[in-house]
Each structure stands twice: as C-alpha cells, then as structure tokens.
Chains A and B, each alone.
Chain A
Amino acid sequence: MKPAPFTYYRPTSLGDAAQRLRDGADEGALVIAGGQSLVPMMALRVAYATELIDLNALDGLGTPRVEGDSFVIPTLTRHATFHDTEAAPAPLGALLHGVAEHIAHYPIRQRGTFGGSLSHADPSSEWCLVTATLDGTIHLLSADGPRTVEAADWSDGPMSTTREPDEILTEVHLPLLPGNTLWGFYEFNRRAGDFALGMALCVLEMDGDSVVAARIGLGGIEDHPRRIPEAEDALVGQPLDAASIGAAASAAMQAVDPMEDTTTSAGYRRDLTGTVITRALEAARNRAPAPAETA
C-alpha cells in the first residue's frame, strides 16, 4: 500500500507547470491537485507517476468568480468551497451546494478539487455531471498555449478525457442560471459518501407552471455523465406534473446504454435511471414557489 518512487516538483507559475509537464509527460509525469483520487490509486499501484507536479502552491487558482454571464471555477477550487451556499450567485450557488454534499466526505472535500474531478473523469463524478448538464466549457493550458473544450466533447470513454497528457486544466466556466430556474438532484448509493450508483440533475426554466427549457443530466449509469435529450424533449412545453415526469423517466430508460459490472447489472442501472430522474424532477417540483392567491 505504498506508492512506487517518484520525483516531486513544485512549480511557481502555471507556465512553469505547463513546461514541466510538456518535458515529462511522455515518461509519465502527472500533475497532483487534491490528491484524493491520485494518491489512493498510486497506493493501490493502479496509477504510477515518474514525477508529480504539485499545483497546490500556485496562487489564484482556488477562488471562483463571476465573469459576465459565466461562473468561473479555477481548477484548485476545493469541493468544500461549496459548503457555502453563497459561493456562487443564486440559484447556481444553491445547486452547487446541494450537489457538493454528495461528494465523498467532509475531510476529502477539504482537499479534493473541481479540476481534479473533471480530469479524473469518474463516471460517478458529481462535478462531471454538473459540467455536462450545464454545458460548461473546460479551459486547458499547454506549453503551446490555451485551448477550450466543450463539456459534450470532454469524455473519451470510461475515466478518459480529450485532455492531452501535457495539458493542464486551468478552469471550468458554467453559465449563471436565470431566476426562473428550478433544479433538482438525486443520487443513489449504498453507503453515505460512496460513489453514486446512479444520479440525476435536472435544471428547468419555467414560465409559470410550464417547462420552457429543460436540461437533464445522468451520471453513474453510462461510462460518463451526459445530457439525455429524449427525457428533456418529454418535458418542454409541459406542466411539471406526474405525467410529464413519468414520460421523461421512461424516455431516459429507453435511451441509455448502461454499464454492467459484477455487482450491478445493466438492467438494474436502467431501472435506477428511471428512479433517479423521477426523484430529481420531484425535487425540482418541490422547489416551485406556491401558486399566488388569486382574488
């Protein structure tokens, strides 16, 4: 349970980090952010690094900010930042807070980072689900300069992304959400703090009772979190009621291609798809303001 030997480098600027990664990536240099996925994997000897390039000493990468109509999350933003509901403007702040509570445990959230979660790209990563559902933009930097990737183009198969080995994720941009947004999140796992077996996030724009735009993201079911357009189509133009929620859930169950492993069958994950989407939509509906009294 001890990692194999490696060398350690603490860069003084992002440019220095990018150059160091360019020089070492071919041999197996990796960056370390929170270390909450990388260190266990190195201890279990399923990950190896010739060198660790530690981003933790770099300034200015840990505090999110608003830029125009975007919320910018620099890569070292710790999961625990979102213990505060006001870390982002409402209603996005409440959404990020509600989701963050489901990531691992309190001490792990003190170190684990937003950018590390995106880079690690676990099928059950809550931050990957949020970024996919909101169509965020991922900003990367290499020795050649910056590049952006849209969330829909981020995954490249299970636990694999379109980031090149010599690129550093610098920040993620999410859209700010309008005031008429209703959101709901639901996650199922067998023990508190475990990775989700299935989870859904829905973000709906409402006009009175009626859904005018819908985003439904699903995680833990397929090899990476993504939006499910078939479920979204079942909601747009409809009131958010038992009938439209049921229609969205069954559309998603038909649309997904679930993973299968030794403890959990594809059929189970297909059923879970319906359950988590139903419960996320019900959570959104429960946030709807009470109808105004009419005289």
Chain B
Amino acid sequence: MSDKTDITLTVNGTERTISCVPRKTLADALREDCRLTGTHVGCEHGVCGACTVMVNGAPVRSCLMFAVQAEGAEVRTVEGLAPEGGLSELQQAFIDNHALQCGFCTPGFLMLITGALEKDPGMSDEDLTEVLSSNLCRCTGYRNIVRAALAAAPAIRARAREAAA
C-alpha cells in the first residue's frame, strides 16, 4: 500500500533500517530519516545536481530515486567522503582553489567528481570538465570548480585504480 515500509540500506558503510512511504525520494530519506543533511535538495526534478550521491558506486540524482528503490543498496553521501580526522583530496582542493562560495552546490559537486572518477578512472581531464556541466552553481562561475576537480583528479584516479587492483 502507500503505507510506510521498512527499507534496509547501507549509508557510508553503516547499515540502516528506515521506514518510508513509497513517494519519499532517496534525497529526503537521507536528510530526514538518516539525519544526514549534507545532501542538498535544490530543484527536485533532476536539473541542478545538488542532491548527487553515489548508489552502488555510481553518482546519481537522489531526487530522482525513491527511497524504497534503494533497498539493499550501498549509498555514499558527502558525510562519508572525508577520512578520519581530515579532508579528502577533493575537499582540500575545493578550499585551496576557492571553489565554493555559499556552498549549497558543493556536496553535489564533490560526489559527482568523486563518483565519476572512481567509476571511470581512465576519464580524461577533458571528459571530466564535460561531466562538471551536469551540476549547477549559482555563485562561483565554475572556473574554480574546474580547477579544483583537475587538481584532485590524479589522486582520486590513483586511489580508484589501487582499490580495483
């Protein structure tokens, strides 16, 4: 029925069971039921990319998936990006390159870039720049986001190749 059902999924390595109605998006379930508000919700119809998370290793729009569809899935959100006590190379590169202003779009860009490079480590810098057109930023004018992505890309590629080996 359209009643709540229990959903078990893994978020940032921790198994969680939440209870949601079918129409609840994965983005809302992460924010409201998992209390992980790092995933932002902008347009709610797939255009802005603020809600990007990784599902089973691929970056996707979490506003275009229902939470019930994530039963059994491995989800990674921005909260799972930083190693213990530090920042990921990409997060540090965003600071170093002044790639955020208000920060609303930042979690989506971090997950987009990390997800695309982990999935396709062979992706060229040119293709990575093209991938950045997936998401919208209303503040930075994109140049600094491109710089940060290109600066961190070698480290992310190397780690992804190591994990695959």
Contacts and interface: CB of A to CB of B under 8 A. Distances in A.
B66 interface: yes
B155 interface: no
A283 B7 CA distance: 49
Interface string B53-69: 00000111101111011
A83 B59 CA distance: 15
B44 A106 contact: no
Contacts of B134: 105-108, 193
Contacts of B43: 1
B120 A39 contact: no
Contacts of B25: 39
A264 B122 CA distance: 39
A4 B49 contact: no
B64 A193 contact: no
B61 A107 contact: yes
A3 interface: yes
Contacts of A1: 43-45
B22 interface: yes
B79 to A, nearest CB: 19
B23 A2 contact: yes
Nearest to A54: B69
Chain A contact surface mostly: mixed
B66 A39 contact: yes
Contacts of B133: 105, 192-193
Interface string A9-38: 010000000000000000000001001100
Contact of B23 (A5, A83, A107, A193): A5
A105 B46 CA distance: 10
A98 B56 CA distance: 26
B30 interface: no
Contacts of B120: 83
Given A56-B69, A110-B60, A6 B45 contact: no
B52 interface: yes
Contact of B58 (A10, A110, A193): A110
Given A40-B45, A107-B58, 18 more contacts: A1-B44, A2-B44, A6-B22, A8-B5, A8-B22, A32-B69, A35-B69, A36-B64, A40-B46, A52-B66, A54-B69, A105-B133, A105-B134, A106-B131, A106-B134, A110-B59, A111-B61, A111-B65
Interface of A: 1-8, 10, 32, 35-36, 39-40, 43-44, 52, 54, 56, 80, 83, 105-108, 110-111, 192-193
